[in-house]
Structure 1
Amino acid sequence: MTAAPANIAPWHTNVYVDGVAYPTRHYALLDEDDDGTETVLGLKPDELHYIRAIHEAAHAVTAIAGGAHLHHAQIETLDSATDNGGVTEACGLDDGNLYAVFSGAGERANDRWLREAGLWTPRLAVAVESGARSDRASFLEVNPHVGFGDREVDYRVVHDLADQVIDRHWREINVVADALVQQIRLDGDDIAGLIRIPNGPHRARNTEGNEAP
């Protein structure tokens, strides 16, 4: 990954997660105890269900498209007791750019879907970013040189890389999301068949999981 241009807009830090400032690209005026994620719950049930599916489908499709092995993708039903909206597990994400794409794909696909569905608002955009906290944390843990205006590489580079792959595979992401809404869980080979891209070789010792909001 390369560093972002020096003249990019600064990250906003008015959202707090567990008492710590959480950087967001978008800005929305939130209540003091609102980390943004509750805004997503303002979506209609079918919209919330689908945005979870888009998130996991983006992780899944970008993993396969990059040559990784996808184990499975799953979304949680709306009556589930867990706080997570879903999970996608893959291995073979050793390439730095591929892992960046995989990590950023969920939140960037959610943002794009909201825009195309005519649902996008600054509050929902912030909620999508806040909901990707586990994706960001997993990536930053192994890439300490990436940050939010305070490191060698800006996290916008992760977003930009993800956006490029999402653009190429947006149709496939929607196909997988449609299937996830119906079936809740799909194995990697089933997803590979849906998008007509071969699943990569299995390397279970390096399994990564990404969770949806």
Structure 2
Amino acid sequence: MTWHLNDDGVYTRHEQPPGCWLREDLGMNAEDLTRHDAHHEAGHAVIALLRGMSVRRATLMPNDQHAAHVEFGPWEGPWWSYAVMLAAGERAGERWLHEAGLWTPERAWNAERACGSDRRKAAETVPEPATLIFGALPAGTQPQHNVAHYQTLQDEADVWLRVRWPSVQRLAAAMIEHRELSAQQISDVAGIPLTKAPAPANAQVEQ
């Protein structure tokens, strides 16, 4: 896949549409934006549970600023698992756009750019001397053991989401209905057992 350099120096999977500008609402009405954000956050939560992370709660307070997030307890496992979980939100949101018949190049690019905080957190989790890259590799080179491309994380997230997509759909629906879910409720709805006791959050993934 070719990653595209945007005008501001950021690389994206989707090419920056000519004349397109960033829109907080992704060019959708409030109801559809809420549904998108719910699937994004459900993607985070489901992969977190599958990876054995401590999920504390998920909240969805719809407005035009994507006020949705999942809170986690301490995580001392592999950085790769945490980074895949971060990538899963973006991938779940895009899958939902396709399934809802709302995918357009402009909307997909906007949604991708809205995930900048997840990408920054993923890069921050990588221990030195490893590096996470988002753009093109230098000509003639391949990722090495200490160089990872974000697309590799996204591809792995896609595999997990494909297997557990019904869990994501159920969890997104529950978030829309209840607005806030506890760790046990997240586990029950997703059908994935909690592997660690809920703990005070020290990490928060925001849409």
TM range, smaller chain: 0.7 to 0.9
Which secondary structure does the structure 2 equivalent of 1:169 belong to? Answer: helix
Matched, 1:166 2:152: no
What's the TM-score, normalizing by structure 1? 0.83
RMSD value over aligned CA atoms? 2.1
**CA shift for structure 1 position 89:** 1.3
Residue aligning to 2:114: 131
Which secondary structure does the structure 1 equivalent of 2:6 belong to? Answer: strand
Residue aligning to 1:76: 61
Residue aligning to 2:131: 145
Matched, 1:110 2:98: no
Which secondary structure does the structure 2 equivalent of 1:146 belong to? Answer: strand
CA-to-partner distance for each residue in 1:147-185, whole Å, 9 max, x for gaps?
Answer: 023572211011011101111110000100001111111
What's the TM-score, normalizing by structure 2? 0.85
Matched, 1:26 2:21: no
Measure, in 2, the Cα distance between the counterparts of 1:161 and 1:107: 13
Q: Which amino acid aligns with 1:127?
A: N
Measure, in 2, the Cα distance between the counterparts of 1:15 and 1:86: 28
Which of 64, 69, 83 is residue 87 of structure 1 equivalent to?
A: 69
User: Given that residues 71 and 201 in structure 2 are in contact (C-alpha distance below 8 angstroms), is that contact kept between their aligned partners in structure 1?
Assistant: no
Structure 1 pair 39/190, CA: closer, same or farther in 2 (3 Å)? closer
**CA shift for structure 1 position 15:** 4.8
Number of matched pairs: 194
Q: Which amino acid aligns with 1:170?
A: W
Query: Among the aligned pairs, what percent are the same residue?
Result: 30
CA-to-partner distance for each residue in 1:85-104, whole Å, 9 max, x for gaps?
Answer: 31111233622332122110
Q: Which amino acid aligns with 2:4?
A: H
Q: Which amino acid aligns with 2:42?
A: A
Residue aligning to 1:197: 192
Q: Which amino acid aligns with 1:69?
A: S
Q: Which runs of 5+ in 2 are unaligned?
A: 138-142
